[in-house]
Amino acid sequence: MKTVTEVREDPPEEIVESNRPAKAGYEWIAADVHNQSSLFRWCRLLNSWLNCTPVIAKGVDYGIISLERVSAIERLYHGQEGATEKFFYMYMCHFSQLLVRLPLDDFTMGVLCELNVAPTQLHPNSWAYLQAFRVLCQSLYLRPSPPAFLCFYDTRPRQPTIWLSLVSRPSISRLDAFSQSFKHFKDRYFKVMVKEEGKSYFCRTHGSVREEELGTFSSIEEGDGCKGQNSWEH
């Protein structure tokens, strides 16, 4: 059974890259995020995980993306400055435990855009809410919508320099908290490189004017909230 897409090979400079200086300008990030390197520094390790973990949805061309390991000095909050291709980060648990598949559907893209967060900024426990809401709507033959979903939740923290969590509003809570607490996900992230033929799958068009793309972290201005404000890069 085919489960993986293209995974790029380790570059020859891998051996010395850990001696390069860290990227500057990210002092605003909380230490717990700032210091977290990726387990997937080597393509062979990433491949071994992906060989038994589906990433692409059924019926979708595997050529729309390639998957790439994360170097020793890269962090999931780094922006796309200097990159020749669009990319974003994903956690392995998105696919292995939460059954997320790429490309993300309109509902998921809409929630991320409404919250103005990157996929890895939303805590996996909150991804579980999102996945459960979709299944609930499907069972009732309803189309899930971001506004309907978000009306059941508040966000914590208000200024997300760490992972953003969705907190149920007690008076209208409809879904129980995910029974499995995600504690060992932080170092299991990798890059999803968007190829030219895949760009249309990873943006959300508003009418005929504006597009929002998945992205990575970016700085948030002091005093800004999460929803509708700058948080991680889009």
Q: Choose the weakest-confidence range: 20-29, 37-46, 69-78, 210-219.
A: 210-219
For the chain, percent of residues with pLDDT exceeding 90:
34
pLDDT of 42 higher than 70: yes
CB 192 within 8 A of CB 90: yes
Residue 52 phi/psi, 5-degree rounding, is -120, 15
Q: pLDDT for 170-216, tens place per residue?
A: 777 666 655 566 778 999 999 999 998 888 888 765 544 335 566 66
Domain residues for 102?
6-213
Domain-embedded: residue 155: yes
CA-wise closest residue to 152 among 168, 165, 131:
168
What does the DSSP 8-state code read for residue 201?
G
109 SS3 class: helix
Judged on CB neighbours under 10 Å (0-12, 13-18, 19+), 195 is middle
Q: pLDDT band at 50, cuts 50/70/90?
A: confident
Domain-embedded: residue 76: yes
Domain-embedded: residue 230: no
Judged on CB neighbours under 10 Å (0-12, 13-18, 19+), 104 is buried
pLDDT (0 to 100) of residue 169: 82
Q: Locate tokens 């019926």: which residue?
A: 59
Domain-embedded: residue 58: yes
CA distance 162 to 55: 25
CA distance 45 to 136: 35
First to last CA, the chain: 34
pLDDT (0 to 100) of residue 111: 94
Domain-embedded: residue 218: no
Q: How far is CA 217 from the centre of its chain?
A: 10
CA distance 203 to 54: 22
Domain-embedded: residue 1: no
For helices 106-115 and 124-139, give the axis angle rounded to 10 degrees: 140
Domain-embedded: residue 226: no
Domain-embedded: residue 90: yes
CA distance 102 to 195: 13
pLDDT of 4 higher than 60: no
CA distance 225 to 159: 5
Q: What is the largest CA-CA distance in the chain?
A: 56
CA distance 228 to 208: 20
What is the count of structural domains for the chain? 1
